[in-house]
Amino acid sequence: MTLRNITRRRAAHVAGAAVVLAGLITAAGPAAAAGASCLPGIELLPTVAGASGGVVEGFGPGGLVVGASGSGPAYWTGPEHTPHAVPLPAGFEFGTVKAVSAKGLMVGTATRNSDQAVVAFVHQRGSATSQALTAPRVGDVGVDVNESGRVVFVDGDVAKEWVNGKVVRELPVPADAIAGSTIISLNGINKRGDIVGTVSGSYFDHENDIMVTKTFPVVWPAGGGYPPYSLQVWNGYHASFATIGRDIDDRGRVVGLEKYHYRNDPRRTPAVWKKPYDTLPTDPGRLAAYSNDLEFNGSSPTTNVAVGTATVFEESYQSYFQAVYWTGKGAPLALPHPAGSTRNTLSRAFAATDDDRVGGTIVDRETRENHAVVWTCASKQAYAKG
């Protein structure tokens, strides 16, 4: 069962106030120190009334935090992380906020219980409603917004950039994509307006009697004045491999992963691309004791940090998760769990800030109780997990 499913199924009630566990490092060897005023801590965020569990997906100005509380989209404000529910689009029961602009424009995804169809939506902080941006579809839906309020998403087979309620640009499929390719998701947009997404295509090669499939990341430069960059991949042209760009920072660095799945042999390989995007991605290595699987989910805007999740698979079942912090150099590091927790605690990381906060979720394997979490001064807590 994934952490998102745990959140949806309302694991157990989370305390009504944020719990701050300062200075908790479960093993020696913290990462390079952050600013002197930074206080290391693990903040377990309160839930909206009647909800249980949650996840942090992004950060906004003035201490604003966004994600999900229980099964619904939410945001938190102030030093006490006061929770606020975000209305779902009509007809949808579950959801999460993925990101927020400098002026409080939130974007997220919502799921309909009857058929598991998903839409991307926008919500302006303070409004009584949310607006669906896409037609319902089954499967993952990517959406993001940058500081200035530029929103990116895929509606059907059309990738769009949306500003002030209007579509201002439709993104092209790269000219070098294989036959039958479409843009399947847009997952990130940086301050400048550069966009990262994923393209996938398949066709049957009759001469060699094989199905050819390639799924790879693409960067569309801001403004549309230049053609998109098709990012290089280690393995392509087979359906067992899919390479995905998850986020793009303000310098244009892309982080993501290569997914491999064939029968009961899944694998997740972290990947990093840098401008001018003319070489294969870099693999920064693995968290100690997690030799096979790691993925990056997000990055800080300018400090070169990437965060994600190391996974232990038992055949195809994801049996253990560990939140990961990478400084951009050296080996990836683990983020600590609350004091007294053991291997029965799971964690994932999804977002990072320039002031060294990381957002994600922590779950107790036995009780299924989960918490939206913020690690503060994360670099002083991250450690080499043996």
Burial of 65 (0-12, 13-18, 19+ CB in 10 A): buried
- How far, in Å, CA of 356 to CA of 376, rounded? 6
Which amino acid, one-letter code, is at 132? Answer: A
Structure-derived torsion over alpha carbons of residues 313, 318, 323, 324, reported in degrees to the nearest 10: 30
Contacts of 353 (CB under 8 A, 6+ apart): 59, 300, 301
Per-residue pLDDT, 315: 64
pLDDT of residue 20 exceeding 60? no
**Would you list the DSSP string of 300-348?**
-SSS--EEEEEEEEETTEEEEEEEEEE-SSSS-EEPPPPTT--TTEEEE
The residue-averaged pLDDT of 236-255 equals: 94
Classify strands 158-163 and 151-155 as parallel, antiparallel or unpaired: antiparallel
Residues in the chain: 386
pLDDT band of residue 288 (cuts 50, 70, 90) is confident
Token digits of residue 198:
């994923």
Q: What percent of the chain has pLDDT over 70?
A: 87
pLDDT of residue 316 exceeding 90? no
Per-residue pLDDT, 139: 87
- 291, 280 Cβ separation under 8 angstroms: no
Contacts of 342 (CB under 8 A, 6+ apart): none
Per-residue pLDDT, 2: 38
Which amino acid, one-letter code, is at 68? Answer: A
pLDDT of residue 372 exceeding 80? yes
pLDDT of residue 343 exceeding 80? no
- How far, in Å, CA of 192 to CA of 119, rounded? 26
Per-residue pLDDT, 342: 58
pLDDT band of residue 265 (cuts 50, 70, 90) is confident
Per-residue pLDDT, 62: 93
- How far, in Å, CA of 239 to CA of 246, rounded? 19
pLDDT digits (tens, 9 = 90+) for 37-93: 789 999 999 999 888 899 999 999 999 999 999 999 999 999 999 999 999 999 999
Closest to 378 (Cα-Cα) out of 76, 18, 19, 38: 38
Per-residue pLDDT, 30: 46
- How far, in Å, CA of 358 to CA of 231, rounded? 27
Which superfamily, per CATH, for 3-380? YVTN repeat-like/Quinoprotein amine dehydrogenase (2.130.10.10)
**Would you list the DSSP string of 85-103?**
E-PPPTT--EEEEEEE-TT
pLDDT of residue 170 exceeding 90? yes
